[in-house]
Amino acid sequence: ITNLKTLILRGNWLKSFAPSFYTPFKNLEVLDIGNNFLTSLNWTHMTQTLKSLNDLRLDHNRMQIISESAETLFQTVNKLHLGFNK
């Protein structure tokens, strides 16, 4: 699981992730968690753990993205998909 490059969890009714969720996926390049019911994420922990992440898909969730902690995410990820969030 540590060598996994792409993880697609789109459309699974997910509401949140425990901080430990990201730990096994240190080499992940693409994370698609769009089309769920996520309201927030621990941006700082995510970006510190997923250092190889290039493409993050968060579209169709319930998140309000604008915050100081999300600034790290915008600086870290090359492709960020945010369409149709709250």
How many structural domains are present in the chain? 1
Asked, for residue 1, whether it belongs to a domain, the answer is: no
Q: What is the pLDDT of residue 1?
A: 87
Q: What is the pLDDT of residue 83?
A: 74
Which residues pair with residue 79 across a beta bridge? 55
Q: Report pLDDT digits (tens) over 11-36.
A: 999 999 888 899 999 999 999 999 99
Asked, for residue 35, whether it belongs to a domain, the answer is: yes
Asked, for residue 50, whether it belongs to a domain, the answer is: yes
Q: What is the largest CA-CA distance in the chain?
A: 33
Q: Report pLDDT digits (tens) over 37-72.
A: 998 888 778 888 999 999 999 889 888 765 655 666
Q: What is the pLDDT of residue 66?
A: 57
Asked, for residue 86, whether it belongs to a domain, the answer is: no
Q: Which domain holds residue 63?
A: 6-81
Distance CA 32, CA 63 (A): 15
Distance CA 66, CA 69 (A): 9
Does 86 score more than 70 pLDDT?
no
